[in-house]
Each structure stands twice: as C-alpha cells, then as structure tokens.
Chain A
Amino acid sequence: MRIICPHCGARDRREFTYQGDAVALERPAPDAGGAAWDDYLHNRENPAGVTRDLWYHEQGCGAWLVVTRNTVTHAVLTTDLAATVREGLA
C-alpha cells in the first residue's frame, strides 16, 4: 500500500502512522449539545467502501493528512493536507 503525500509524493505505508476517522477535524461547538458531542466522541462508521482517515507522515515530512481510501479494494483515492482541509471547514 502506498499513500501519496501532497509534499513528498508516493511513499510506502511504513512511513505513515494511522490515527483514525477524519471526523476529528470537525469538532462541534462547545454548546452543540449532547447528541453532537456523543457522535463526535464515540460513534464511528465502519464502512465496507470509501472512508476518510487521518494519517501522520511520521517518517517523512511530519504533515497530518486526510486520506480517502476504499477499505474493500484498498485503493487510495485522494490525499490532502489536514491543515488545508481544516481551513476549508472554517
């Protein structure tokens, strides 16, 4: 499996560390309510198909990435800098 880092290009999976669902970039407002915070903290999809996760290019440039991949085919579809994705949400 290879991940295309926006900075470094195609790199072997061994250079990356997996963190979890990219929902971590969408932290609810403090007053969003119990349901929103419950979803954010505890409830995760477990899709057979396309999923968006945070990966850290630890043995490379040190950037956090949002990697969109298919859990069935193992295809890596897109990668973006988490910083860029976060700015897009703001």
Chain B
Amino acid sequence: MADLTAKTPCAGLLPLSIGTLTLTEVDPGHMTAVAPLKGQTSALSEALKTAHGMALPAPNRATGKDGARTIWFGHAHSLLIGPAPDPSLAQYAALTDQSDAWAVVRLEGPGAADVLARLTPLDLRAPQFKRGHTARTDLMHMMASITRTGPQAFQIMVFRSMAHTLVHDLKTAIEAVTARAG
C-alpha cells in the first residue's frame, strides 16, 4: 500500500494577505449533506438541535458557528460542517459524506463585500446579506456557496477541483479592490 499524504484543496495556494484583506483556507472537518426525508423536516431539526446544538436552517440561512455549522445548501438539503453526523440524524434524513469534496476559504477584511461584487451577481453588502445569511450562486461561472460569518468575513465554497481557479479569481479581485482603495 502506497504511503499517501493528505493535502487540503488549497494546499500551496493559501494563505494570502493583500492590503487589509486576508484569504485563508478553512479546515472544515467533516462535511455531510443532510436531506430531510419527506415530512421529517421538523423532526430532523429537533434531532440536529439535540445532537449538534443547532436547528436546521431555513432557505438562505446558516445556523451554528465556527467549528459546527449547518448551512442551507440548496433545494431540499443542507450541509453539516464540522462534526461527524450523529447516527440519530439518519432516521430523518439522507446523509451523504461530502468531506474533502469542497474547497472552503475565508475572505476577511474591510471591502470583502466589494471583492465579491466583482465575482458574483448577488448584492452581498451588509444591509442585504447579514451574518447568518447564505446563498448558492454563481461565482465566476463556478457553482458556489457563500455565507456571511462575520461583519467583514465570508465563507466561500466551490467544488474541490476548482480550488485553484477560486483562489486566482479572489486574488485578482482583492488586488483590484486594494488598488482602488489606495
């Protein structure tokens, strides 16, 4: 058996810091798609509260905090990030392991929303897109998940295979926003 070395999606690409903005890779831990079985959404939310301390998020919302978070991830499913899913969830939801399938990065600093404005058609400024808000949208033609995790911080996810493109596009936009500010 070959001796394999685990690498994160953005290994060798991050962190980077330009002006007042930073882009870092997040080690998400486990990632599990949680799709409620028909009619079991409320029961699943209760089980999630009991097991992991957070409710199932409504569409376009995230619950929990750094280390254990559930984000709405699209039609009829959410993504549990951090802990391994408690076995009790399985009676109310289809659980699919997504660990290692997504690149997860954190963009933080003044002007973070301006950086994303160059890459996605959504208005992600604070009055529109508050802490705990999440969206599935287009980020430079990549299917992305964007969540506001702080006043000037976003978690951004794309398929792992697109990690290099994500970092390139974010870096280019950060440089442009920083140049305009200077």
Q: What's the Cα separation between A58 and B74 when bound, in Å?
A: 10
With A8-B60, A15-B121, A58-B143: A63-B75 Cβ-Cβ less than 8 Å: yes
Q: Which residues of chain B are near A12, meaning CB under 8 Å?
A: 121, 138
Most B CB within 10 A of own CB, among A7, A14, A63, A81: A7
In angstroms, how far is the closest chain A Cβ from the Cβ of B69?
A: 18
The 8 A CB mask of B127-163 against A (1 = contact, 0 = none) is: 0000000011110010100000000000000000000
The 8 A CB mask of B74-113 against A (1 = contact, 0 = none) is: 1110000000000000000000000000000000000000
With A7-B59, A7-B60, A15-B138: A61-B74 Cβ-Cβ less than 8 Å: yes
The 8 A CB mask of A36-62 against B (1 = contact, 0 = none) is: 000000000000000000000111111
Q: Which residue in A7, A9, A15, A59 is a CB contact (below 8 Å) of B75?
A: A7
- Number of A interface residues, CB 8 Å? 15
In angstroms, how far is the closest chain B Cβ from the Cβ of A88?
A: 16
Whether A14 contacts B121 by the Cβ 8 Å rule is yes
State which residues 47-90 of A face B: CB under 8 Å.
Answer: 57-63, 81
Q: What's the Cα separation between A59 and B60 when bound, in Å?
A: 14
Q: What's the Cα separation between A14 and B143 when bound, in Å?
A: 12
Whether B138 contacts A8 by the Cβ 8 Å rule is no
- Top 3 A-B pairs ranked by shortest CB distance? A63-B75, A59-B138, A61-B74
In angstroms, how far is the closest chain A Cβ from the Cβ of B165?
A: 15
Q: What's the Cα separation between A81 and B74 when bound, in Å?
A: 13
Whether B121 contacts A62 by the Cβ 8 Å rule is no
A2 closest partner in B (C-beta): B121
Whether A60 contacts B60 by the Cβ 8 Å rule is no
Whether A62 contacts B137 by the Cβ 8 Å rule is no
Q: What's the Cα separation between A21 and B74 when bound, in Å?
A: 24
Q: Which residues of chain A are near B76, meaning CB under 8 Å?
A: 63
In angstroms, how far is the closest chain B Cβ from the Cβ of A55?
A: 13
Q: What's the Cα separation between A59 and B137 when bound, in Å?
A: 5
Whether B74 contacts A63 by the Cβ 8 Å rule is yes
In angstroms, how far is the closest chain B Cβ from the Cβ of A12?
A: 4
Most A CB within 10 A of own CB, among B59, B60, B76, B136: B136
